Structure 1
Amino acid sequence: MDLHTGLPFWLIKNGLAYNYSSLKKDRKTQVVILGGGITGAIQAYFLAKAGIDFILLEKRSIGLGSTSASTALLQYQIDEPLSSLIEKVGESNAVRAYELCAESIETIKSISKDIGHDNYQVHPTLFYASYKKDIALIEKEYELHKSSGFDVELWDQKKIKKHFDLDFPVALYSRHSAQIDAYKFCHQCMQYAINKGQQIYDRTEVVDIKHKKEGVKIETSGGYTIQAEWLIYATGYEVVDFISKDIVDLNSTWAIVSEQFDDIKEFWYENALIWETKEPYLYMRTTSDHRIMLGGRDENTNNPQRRQEALKEKSKKLAKDFAKLFPQYEFIPEFSWAGTFGSTKDGLPYIGKYINKPQGLFALGFGGNGITFSTIAGELLRDIILGKENDDVKIFAFDR
Structure 2
Amino acid sequence: MDLKSGYPFWAVKNGLMSVFPKLKSDVSCDVAVIGGGITGALIADELGNNGFDVVVVEQRDVAWGSSAASTALLQYEIDTHMVDLAKQYGEFHALLAYQACADAITDLRVLAEELGDVDFNMQESLYYASRRRDKAALREEFDLRVKHGFDAEWLEAADIKERFGFKAPGAILTRLAAVIDPYRMASKLLTRLVERGGNVFDRTSIETIEPAENSVTLRTPEGLQIHCKHVVIAAGYASQKWLKQSVAKNRSSYAFITDPIDKSALGLLASTMVWESARPYLYMRTTGDGRLLVGGDDDDIDIPARRDKRVDGKAKGLSKKVQKLFPELPLHPAFSWAGTFAETEDGLPFFGEHPEHGPRVQFAMAYGGNGISYSMIGAGLLRANIEGRPHPLASLFGFARVG
**TM-score computed with the length of structure 1 as normaliser:** 0.98
Contact 1:117–1:188 (8 Å) recurs in 2: no
What residue number does 2:397 align with? 396
User: Deviation per CA, 1:286-326, whole angstroms, max 9, x where unpaired?
Assistant: 11111100001110121111111111111111111111011
Equivalent positions of 1:101-116 (< 5 A) are: 101-116=101-116
Residue 270 (structure 1) shift: 5.3
Contact 2:270–2:290 (8 Å) recurs in 1: no
| Aligned partner of residue 256 in structure 2, secondary structure | strand
Aligned AA for 1:36? G
Q: What is the rounded CA distance, in whole Å, between the counterparts of 2:75 and 2:118 in structure 1?
A: 19
Per the alignment, do residues 87 and 357 of structure 1 end up closer, same or farther by CA in structure 2, a change over 3 Å counting? Answer: same
Residue 189 (structure 1) shift: 0.8
Could you list the runs of 5+ residues in structure 2 that have no partner in the other structure? none
Contact 1:265–1:290 (8 Å) recurs in 2: no
Q: Does residue 175 of the first structure (1) align with residue 175 of the second (2)?
A: yes
More moved, 125-134 vs 325-334: 325-334
Q: What is the rounded CA distance, in whole Å, between the counterparts of 1:398 and 1:85 in structure 2?
A: 16
Q: What is the rounded CA distance, in whole Å, between the counterparts of 1:346 and 1:311 in structure 2?
A: 28
Q: Percent identity?
A: 36
Q: What is the rounded CA distance, in whole Å, between the counterparts of 1:79 and 1:103 in structure 2?
A: 17
Residue 263 (structure 1) shift: 6.2
User: Deviation per CA, 1:97-155, whole angstroms, max 9, x where unpaired?
Assistant: 00000000000011112222441100000000000000111110111100111101111
Q: What is the rounded CA distance, in whole Å, between the counterparts of 1:313 and 1:6 in structure 2?
A: 12
Residue 332 (structure 1) shift: 1.5
What residue number does 1:366 align with? 367
Equivalent positions of 1:20-59 (< 5 A) are: 20-59=20-59
What residue number does 2:219 align with? 219
Equivalent positions of 1:128-147 (< 5 A) are: 128-147=128-147
| Aligned partner of residue 36 in structure 2, secondary structure | coil
Contact 1:32–1:230 (8 Å) recurs in 2: yes
Residue 222 (structure 1) shift: 2.7
| Aligned partner of residue 150 in structure 2, secondary structure | coil
Q: What is the rounded CA distance, in whole Å, between the counterparts of 1:284 and 1:312 in structure 2?
A: 18
Aligned AA for 1:223? G
What residue number does 2:379 align with? 378
| Aligned partner of residue 50 in structure 1, secondary structure | coil
Residue 225 (structure 1) shift: 0.3
| Aligned partner of residue 275 in structure 2, secondary structure | strand
Per the alignment, do residues 392 and 247 of structure 1 end up closer, same or farther by CA in structure 2, a change over 3 Å counting? Answer: same
Per the alignment, do residues 84 and 250 of structure 1 end up closer, same or farther by CA in structure 2, a change over 3 Å counting? Answer: same
Residue 266 (structure 1) shift: 4.3
Q: What is the rounded CA distance, in whole Å, between the counterparts of 1:241 and 1:226 in structure 2?
A: 19
| Aligned partner of residue 393 in structure 1, secondary structure | coil
Q: What is the rounded CA distance, in whole Å, between the counterparts of 2:319 and 2:265 in structure 1?
A: 20
Contact 2:28–2:227 (8 Å) recurs in 1: yes
What residue number does 2:125 align with? 125
Contact 2:261–2:330 (8 Å) recurs in 1: no
More moved, 266-275 vs 182-191: 266-275
Aligned AA for 1:369? N
Count of residue pairs the alignment pairs up:
400
Q: Does residue 3 of the first structure (1) align with residue 3 of the second (2)?
A: yes
Could you list the runs of 5+ residues in structure 1 that have no partner in the other structure? none
User: Deviation per CA, 1:9-38, whole angstroms, max 9, x where unpaired?
Assistant: 000100001221110110111100000110
Per the alignment, do residues 270 and 290 of structure 1 end up closer, same or farther by CA in structure 2, a change over 3 Å counting? Answer: closer
Contact 1:255–1:337 (8 Å) recurs in 2: yes
Q: Does residue 250 of the first structure (1) align with residue 260 of the second (2)?
A: no
**TM-score computed with the length of structure 2 as normaliser:** 0.97
RMSD: 1.2
| Aligned partner of residue 101 in structure 2, secondary structure | helix
Contact 2:63–2:186 (8 Å) recurs in 1: yes
What residue number does 1:189 align with? 189
What residue number does 1:68 align with? 68
More moved, 107-116 vs 64-73: 107-116
| Aligned partner of residue 123 in structure 1, secondary structure | strand
Q: What is the rounded CA distance, in whole Å, between the counterparts of 1:121 and 1:185 in structure 2?
A: 13
